[in-house]
Amino acid sequence: MAMGFGDSARDRRVRVQGEPVESYPRLAPEVNRGAVRRITVVGEEILRRRCREVTEFGTPELAKLIDDMFATNQVAEGAGLAANQVDVDLQLFVWDITDEWGVRHVGHIANPALDEVAAEHRRLVEEPEGCLSVPGPYRVVPRLDHAIVRGRDKDGNPLVIEGRGYFARCLQHETDHLHGRLYLDRLAQRERKAALREMKDSQDKVFARRASVAERLGK
């Protein structure tokens, strides 16, 4: 998910894997360890199918993939990134975003599943949304303002992450990716075509900016 922008005034600590921490560096440690991978773009087949479940946990390969996804997300100035966006067919995504209340959320989750929300508790919010695999355009997309996602961390431990506002949007957006869905699919046909035309016109500038950030970070 691309960056875009409520009461958490009681506790503004960074949440890592959903838990508050007393201090946290500007760049997540995974960014420093990771290598930047190519981000897939709308039209590539891997973005259009349901990803495979993660079945092997605690492996160096999974840890390396997560590090690389954090580094790639940082270079692309993103809020979240799914594994199929780096051409890996696994149910996994990472996030590093700051919500409307100034709370930073950082983490990863494998095999995520969103809780169902009863109709009487569903509140849709329409806000601009972008995607690193649709470089450039933002469009208004309705999303639930509260989301709970359940899955596992890289070591296979159960994980429950709750988000509100922009973070809830991110959790829904990235889970969509792992089911082969893009935010474009939530738009009317005319709006979708307009977004794709805008992407064609802007993607070279977006790619150049990502390359510049990568150079600055030594990636």
Instruction: Please state the rounded mean pLDDT for residues 38-46.
Output: 98
Res 95: pLDDT:
98
Mean pLDDT score of the chain, rounded to an integer?
Answer: 95
Which helix (H) or strand (E) element contains residue 212?
helix 189-216
Is pLDDT of 112 > 60?
A: yes
Residue 147 pLDDT level (bands cut at 50, 70, 90) = very high
- Structure tokens that stand for 3 in this block: 């960056």
Residue 5 burial (C-beta neighbours within 10 Å; 0-12, 13-18, 19+): exposed
- Structure tokens that stand for 103 in this block: 């709370």
Residue 149 pLDDT level (bands cut at 50, 70, 90) = very high
Which helix (H) or strand (E) element contains residue 210?
helix 189-216
Is pLDDT of 6 > 90?
A: no
Angle (deg, nearest 10), helices 189-216 and 60-75: 100
Residue 2 pLDDT level (bands cut at 50, 70, 90) = low
- Structure tokens that stand for 189 in this block: 């046909």
Q: In whole angstroms, what is the distance from residue 160 CA to residue 111 CA?
A: 11
Instruction: Please state the rounded mean pLDDT for residues 64-69.
Output: 98
Q: In whole angstroms, what is the distance from residue 9 CA to residue 6 CA?
A: 9
Residue 133 burial (C-beta neighbours within 10 Å; 0-12, 13-18, 19+): buried
Residue 127 among the catalytic residues:
no
Residue 120 pLDDT level (bands cut at 50, 70, 90) = confident
Backbone angles phi, psi at 218, to 5 degrees: 75, 30
| DSSP conformation class of 128 | E
Q: Which residue is catalytic, options 45, 174, 198, 215?
A: 174
Instruction: Please state the rounded mean pLDDT for residues 165-187.
Output: 98
